[in-house]
Amino acid sequence: MEDSTEVQSSERYTSTCSYEDLPNHELDNLKQDHEVVIVMVPFPVQGHLNQLLQLACLIASSYDLPVYYVGSATLNRQAQVRANALNPSDIAKIHFHEVPIPEFSSPPPDLSASRKFPLHHKPLWDASLFLREHIASFLRDVSSKSRRIVVVHDPFMSFNVQDVYSLPNAESYIFNGVSAFYSYCFSFLFRGMSIQREDEFLKKLPSLEGEMPDELRDFLAIQGPYMDTRSGSILNTSKVIEGEFLDSLAQVERVKQWAIGPILPTKLDNASNSNNICLKWLNKQPPRSVLCISFGTTTTFSDREVMELAMGLEQSKQKFIWVLREADRGDIFTGEARKLELPEGFEERVKGVGLVMREWVPQPEILAHSSTGGFMSHCGWNSCIESITMGVPIAAWPMHSDQPMNSFLVTEVLKIGLTVREWEKREELVSASTIENVVRKLMASEEGDGIRKRAEELGVSVRRSTEKGGASQIELDSFIAHITR
């Protein structure tokens, strides 16, 4: 994205999607008249797909409104295959609308890169710019058959939904799948605005100077002109977690905002995944004794980093479930993922103490399990909100993007976690001894017990906020009342 030529070419990419292309169940639905129809437009990477599917299911199941989820066939399939914690009957209520996406390369992550940012996804970002006409065509079809069409979209899809403003009965809302704290820091610090906090707080914040790749900066520049025309913002957080920062954001935002999180189910039935090997293993472990280790779908460790982590876990002598996977490609159904090698004999030596998983796992259910007592995480907001909701403390190891700010929120503001590695030392190898010490402190010390108690108390408050009369439920009811007015 060196100049505007790519944007211009995406504008020339014409729609070929028509009624004849739609599955029969969509055809039937589109022929009906609706009062209000909601269209979800996610950005095509896992963390973004996941949150909007959770929101789609929450609205469809709780308010009986028709909800469409718009993406390519492959990405819609990915969202459904990885629909952790969601009830299949709720997913069945969603209308998955497929839009064609140009072919793109799907390279593996670059192990030689000095930074962890997933630039191997850039071909997918570029391809997503060609969806505008297809989405516009679909919105026009839905608009003609409903009193109001409400588009809820990822900030990174703002360019693609710009045509919503040409429809007389349509309005759009940005879904912010990041923490309010990160949005607060971005709005104030990165835009040179005054921040309402004491200087000592500012001095502690991790510096993100030079951290945003030019490729991402260029992509954001394409989205920027279309972000400020939204009718409001939805945030996957709660006033219980981030009330102070939500209030600060409200003072500078020119549109209404609703903090409706957590949008994931807060009462998980482990029986629905009773045959999952992780949950069966957890059933045999003492309460709060197991550390879950997972670094999301955009982080890949080098062989040396895997070795140090393995040795650190083994030396800690603490129980663990380690989700050992390479970062997703742009298309998760193509290509062969690299198998990350462990020290010779490692799995045999930790048998009964640790479990290594190399495939997709039901992370929310694992965090909700009574045997889970800690979570070593990259601090993506999906993982943070899941861990906070389930009352599990975090060993924070941020890799890129919003993760350093989320880590600061967890460890310095909420005080429900420990830092594995300081952000300023992100290009240094984390030693096995460092990992061992952090794991022991979180899982087997008085300090760790205190952190766990605070995390559990916050989790109770967050879960209550989603119940009738709770802060998040009131916010969600307010949003639905607003769009169905």
Among all residues, which ones are annotated catalytic?
A: 48, 154
**Which of 283, 266, 241, 264 is CA-nearest to residue 457?**
241
Which amino acid appears at position 161 of this protein? V
Q: How far apart are CA 71 and CA 156, in angstroms?
A: 14
In Å, what is the CA distance from 95 to each residue of 24, 167, 484? 11, 21, 19
Task: Give the whole-angstrom CA distance, residue 248 versus residue 112.
Answer: 40
- Angle (CA) 4-5-6 rounded to 5° is 95
For 122, phi and psi rounded to 5 degrees? -55, -40
Tokens linked to 157: 């899809």
